Amino acid sequence: MTTIGAAGRRERPDHVVGEEPMEIRVGAPGAGSEPVAVAVTMRTPGNDFELAVGFLIGEGLVDDQADVREVRYCDLPAGDPQRYNVVTVAVTELAGTLTRRRLSTVSASCGVCGTATLEQLDRRCPPLPPGPEVPDEVLLGLPDRLRRHQRVFDHTGGLHAAGLFTAGGDPLAVREDIGRHNAVDKLVGWAALQRRLPLSSAVLAVSGRVSFEIVQKAAVAGIPVVVAVSAASSLAVATARRLGVTLAGFVRADRANLYAHPARVVRRSQARPEAAAHG
């Protein structure tokens, strides 16, 4: 790599973010001899099984975490190199929504939502119930806590992150990827493979902005609070209000914008003992 600046030009090595395509396939007994290809997503390699499962659940192509039987890379003929870019998820039965499978490429910058309308999303994702309470100082501190776990970002400066935290701010899992929506899918897949869905007491923190598909994925996974370092889109706000998701944007150490369902965010003195105990 060549760098240029006031001191002139010089050659030096650099770390760059990995970006490769990954095809996601789904198969079920009696569904045919070959798994069905449903999407190709551009992702940063790593936690591929979580990504595949999280994507399928978020898009309604797998109805329940209990339906996931096995996840594996594509079987290849002897002697062919395994590139680890095709993942097959074996399920107990295919979701009815698989009939509208995507068969498309998802870029790393924006998840193309498989739910055509908010009405369709409403039918498979009712509004989330109240709770949990999150102390305001915990919410304001989540971007910094997320940043501490962005190890690959430290080397490349080119990855987004998504993290799951308790209402008291304790980390549950953090994933990095070139796409924010992929990082969220990896978290949902992590939870599904551990049979931890719905994530009804968790808080999701994402680097950068938050748009519709991230709120959608959070709501489907039962996550009641979404925290973003940057802006929220108008459709993200409308979707959060509709689905009962608390949405915070432009979160800094001393301030945040609460766009939807602010009642879950309380002052430390008002927080119930179980929320405050995590601090």
Residue 40: which residues within 8 A CB-CB, separation 6 or more?
Answer: 21, 22, 23, 24, 104, 105, 106
Q: Quick one: which of 97, 115, 110 has its CA closest to 160?
A: 110
In the structure encoding, which two tokens stand for residue 257, read together? 């914008």
Expressed in angstroms, the distance from the first to the final Cα of the chain is: 44
In the structure encoding, which two tokens stand for residue 180, read together? 């924010």
Helices (H), 28-98: 48-58
Helices (H), 68-107: none
Respond yes or no: is residue 74 known to be catalytic.
no
Tokens 């897949």, residue?
189
Report the alpha-carbon distance of residue 188 to residue 171 in Å, rounded: 15
Report the alpha-carbon distance of residue 111 to residue 260 in Å, rounded: 22
In the structure encoding, which two tokens stand for residue 260, read together? 């939807």
Give the count of alpha carbons within 13 A of 169, CB side only.
18
* Residues catalogued as catalytic: 110
